Structures are given as C-alpha cells and as structure tokens.
Structure 1
Amino acid sequence: MRLFAISDIHIDYPDNAQWVEQVSDADYRDDILILAGDLTEDRRLLAWCLGRFAAKFRQVLFVPGNHDLWVRHEPADMCSLRKFEHVVDIATEAGVSMYTYRYGNTVIVPLLGWYDYSFGTPDSDLGKLWMDYRACRWPEGFDPARVTEHFLDLNPETVPHPRPGERVVTFSHFLPRIDLIPFFVPRAMRHLDPVLGSTGIERQLRALGSHLHIYGHSHINRRVRLDGVTYINNAFGYPQEGAIAARRLIEIIDET
C-alpha cells in the first residue's frame, strides 16, 4: 500500500478535469490518496471529482480549501460554513474520508484551517485582490481569526488510541508556517502572506506528533524539513502554472 498526495487541482478548468479522468483506474487500487483542498467551488463537479478518485484508490482523504467554500453561485442565504457542511456530505456520499485514517503503523490526520493573519497584517491592496473576501460569506461576527478558530476547533487534539511505534502524517490545505514560502518568491507577491495559513495549524500538528505534513494553497511545489518535520506541497495548479507545479501525483515516501 502506497501513499500519494496532491492539492489545488482546480477542476473548473477543463484541462485539469481531464487530467483527473485520465488518472489510471487500475494502478492505484491498493493505495491511499491525500487531496489537500481546492478542487472546485461547484458542488456538482466536486461530487464528480471525489467519486472518480474514490473509484481509483483504496481510500481517499480530503480537506477542503478556500475555493471549495466559495458561494458565488450559491443561493443568497448560503454561507461558507453551511457550504462546508455540504462539502462534508458530498465527501461522505463519495466514500471519501475527512477523518483520521490508519493503515499499518501509520495514522493520517486531516487538519482543517483557514488564515488568521498570524503570518502578517493585510495591506490595503489585499482587500481588492483576494477573491475570498468577495467569494465567501460568513455568519455575522466571523472575521478571518474567528473562521480559523472555528475550523481548528474541529480538529483532534490528540491521535485517537495511539499505538507503539506508530508514525503520524498530517495534512491541511493552508500553510502551517510562513517559512514554507521559499526565498525566491518575489517581494511583490509577499503581500499574500497574511492569507496563506495559520500558526495554529503548526501548533496542532506538533501536538499530534506529526513527522510529515502535506499542505497546499501556495501552488509552490516543495519538500523541506524544518525543526524535525518534513513538509511537502504537491500542487497541480492552474493551467498556466506548469513551471512551478509538477502536475502529477507524487508518492509520499518517508526519507527520515
């Protein structure tokens, strides 16, 4: 049994959806797939995508990203918290898990999250550029910090029923630490730092004893070891991002 991971497939783009369809129906039947968010805002497409992956893999594990909670084309009374509930139902109906999963001596823990500006203070331009501010709707009183707190509160505080010698793998859509953004990212793009993730995710994965964490959101493929934990991003990305995204499944191999 092998473990694969990918994020940010954005199947609203036809070429990206075609790639999902073309993933082998036979090669991964005994394997596990981590989907680290940002598949689509379209509930119909989400059900299709999760269903296709569930048919190709032994088990699919999923957390939604920000795009998955957009409500631009939903009824006016639909907020992003209710959209999350619908996403959970869609995943369940497709046979996809959003909960802790064990295989062999490995336990995989999905971590929900959002961004709470713990990576920096937004500047005046971010409100104009960042689509979430217009594409998400939250209940009254839910600012980004409250949204992040809500999702972090849904995560397990400890690994259920830990076993001797068990290794812990965690995954989230949002970044758990800002130094996962590499040095070569131009300063002009760093205004996005505040909306990339939350240090709360890092606190949780450390408390769980994770030694390997999968994340998405940044669209910058990377594998790096920081303070004893290996962090891996394997974003599929937008069609124009072929230069910074591998655009393929990667097998997660523990090299520590």
Structure 2
Amino acid sequence: MSATSRPRLWAISDLHLASEVNRTALADIPDHGDDWLILGGDIAEREEVLVDALDVLGRRFGTLIWVPGNHDLWTDRRPGAVARRGDARYSHLVELARAAGAVTPEDPFPRWPADLKGAPVYVVPLFLLYDYSFRPDGLPLDEMKDWVRQKHAVPVDELLLDPAPFASRAEWCAARCAQAEARLSCLPPDAKTVLINHWPMREDLIRIPRVPRFLPWCGTRRTHDWHRRYRALEVVTGHLHTRRTDFIDGTRFHEVSLGYPRQWDQDKGIAAYLKDVTPQTRGG
C-alpha cells in the first residue's frame, strides 16, 4: 500500500442528534472513501436516530468504529418505548451498531492497515464508564451529591443511566475495565494501539470550569496509565465538549466532541470538526 493510498482515521463524538440542527448538518458530511471514522459516543438518546446516523455515515466512510456514551445508554422513558435498562440497553445498541456495519467494543479489535516501524497498530473501542473516583480525596460517596448541588445540578445520569444488573455504576465500571484489561493483555507484545472511550481516561486532562463538580461522572482513575501499559499512540475521548489535543508520554490525547448547536459553528459544517487521529509516531 503506498503512502498516498493509505486511509485516514477520523474521530468525532457528542454529535447530540436530538438537536435538529445537528441532524441536518450530519447529512452534509462528504464522502471520505476508504477512510475510517471513530464515533466516540453521545450520538443520540433514541435508537432510531442512532441507526439513521450510522446509515448515513456508513455510506461516507469505509469503516465505522462506535463506542457508547452516557446519553446513548439512558433508558428510553417515552410512552410505548421498550424500556431497556443498563447492560441490556448496551447490548441492544451493540447489535444495532453491528447491523449497520460498525465495529463495537464487543468485537475483535481491528488492525489498522498500516504498521508503524514494523509494529502492528490496533484500533481499540472501549466502554469503561465511570466509578466516581474522580471526586475529591476524602469526600464520602454518600455526601457527593450534596457537594455537587452546592455549585450546580446533579447529572441526569443518576436518573436515566441504570446500571442493571449491576448494583451500581461503579460495579459496572469495574467489570468493564477488567474485561478490557484482559482483552488488551492478549495483544501482541509489540503492538501499538489507538484507545477509544467516551469518558476521559485521565483526570488531569479534564478542564470544565463551568461545571467543576461534574468530575465524578467523567471516568475512572483505573485508566490513568493505560496509554503506557497498552502502548497507545493516540487516545480518543469525548464527553466534556472541550475540543483539544494534549501530549503525555509521547501519546496524543484527543477530546473530539462536537457538542450542542451553541458549541460549534454551523457555517463550517460538521466535517470541519472531524479530528484526524491517524496513528503516527511522534515526529512522523
């Protein structure tokens, strides 16, 4: 494969297609041929909207990689809707994504079509959730909500993101992390990775001054060193609506949210917010 024929790896998250503005703009994304697209969660609360989005994007990209966000996992409480909860809802979304041809966190990690310096590169979709460990040290879990309410509202996840059959979201998070660690440990020892998760994988990269006490719902300290443990070239996350790229230990950390209509320039179109996260060694 020549350098000019290699596909690119693009990423975007938090499309929030409950917004008509965002849904309309999605239709204008141009054809990207054989390029791959990462969808980093919070695509839509309604299953039919997710399916429509995957259909549109599946015709514009060669490969889709999908991970869920918290909005995707909310229980649908509309009259007449099937109220799938927790892991049952997640499993159903996985089947919908697979039916649309997307790679999910439950599938074998796809190998990127170009090795880097002879090493294979795997694109790794993850669903890890959060366990409230980003709350301040010394703050008891049973006092956390009162602490949050001193500054802003408690996230809707506490009402709509059901952890069933797990006793808590923290338990669900622990199970997801353990499963991911087991699978990642089976990669070839020289393999490089592109890690993808909706929630940030390091607490020190979270900068949300408007809602500073949202931190407990933003990830788990368990993943703080995963970029080193699993030889990540790129780490792709969303959730925060704070687009940026940071460098730590030679790894690029990308926050790739689009966000709500007020958070992006509709004159540019959604395509302008696709982030090129094609795996590369630093310095090319």
- Matched letter for residue 252 of structure 1: V
Q: Kindly report structure 1 stretches of 4+ aligned residues shifted beyond 4 Å.
A: 74-77
Aligned to 2:25: 19
Indicate if the aligned counterparts of 1:31 and 1:59 stay in contact, CA closer than 8 A: yes
CA drift of 1:80 comes to 1.8
- Report the secondary structure of 2:146's partner residue: coil
What is aligned with 2:154? 129
Q: CA 1:90 to 1:66, structure 2 compared with 1: closer, same or farther past 3 Å?
A: same
The aligned counterpart of 2:130 is 115
Instruction: Check whether the contact 1:111–1:201 (CA below 8 A) recurs between aligned residues.
Output: no
> Aligned equivalents of 1:65 and 1:82: distance in 2?
15
Q: Which runs of 5+ in 1 are unaligned?
A: none
Q: Which runs of 5+ in 2 are unaligned?
A: 1-6, 116-120, 137-143
Q: Which amino acid aligns with 1:147?
A: W
Please give the alpha-carbon distance, in whole angstroms, between the structure 2 residues aligned to 1:212 and 1:230.
Answer: 5
1:69 aligns with 2:69: no
Between structure 1 and structure 2, the one with the greater Rg is 2
Specify whether residues 163 and 55 from structure 1 end up closer, same or farther in structure 2 by C-alpha distance, changes over 3 A only. Answer: farther
RMSD: 2.4
CA distance in 1, matches of 2:83, 2:275: 39
Q: Is the 8 A contact 1:223 1:232 kept in 2?
A: yes
Which AA in structure 2 matches 1:113?
A: L
Letter in 1 for 2:62: R
Aligned to 1:50: 54
Using the size of structure 2 for normalisation, the TM-score is 0.80
How far 1:227 moved relative to its partner? Answer: 2.8
CA separation of 1:83 and 1:126: change in aligned 2, threshold 3 A: farther
Q: How many residues align?
A: 249
| 2:188 aligned partner | 162
Cα distance per residue 1:67-98 (max 9 Å; x no partner): 00001326576212110011000000000001
Q: Could you say which residue in structure 2 is the equivalent of 1:8?
A: 14
Structure 1's 161 and 174: CA in aligned 2 closer, same or farther, altered over 3 A?
closer
Residue number in structure 2 paired with 1:217: 239
CA distance in 2, matches of 1:161, 1:144: 28
Q: Distance in 2 between matches of 1:59 and 1:20?
A: 17
> For residues 132 and 167 of structure 1, what CA distance do their matches in structure 2 show?
33
Q: Report the CA distance between 1:132 and its aligned residue.
A: 0.4
Q: 1:209-240 CA deviation, whole Å, 9 max, x = no partner?
A: 21210001011011001233210011110111
Q: Which moved more, 1:53-62 or 1:135-144?
A: 135-144
1:40 aligns with 2:40: no
SS of 1:225 mapped into structure 2: strand
SS in 2 for 1:232: strand
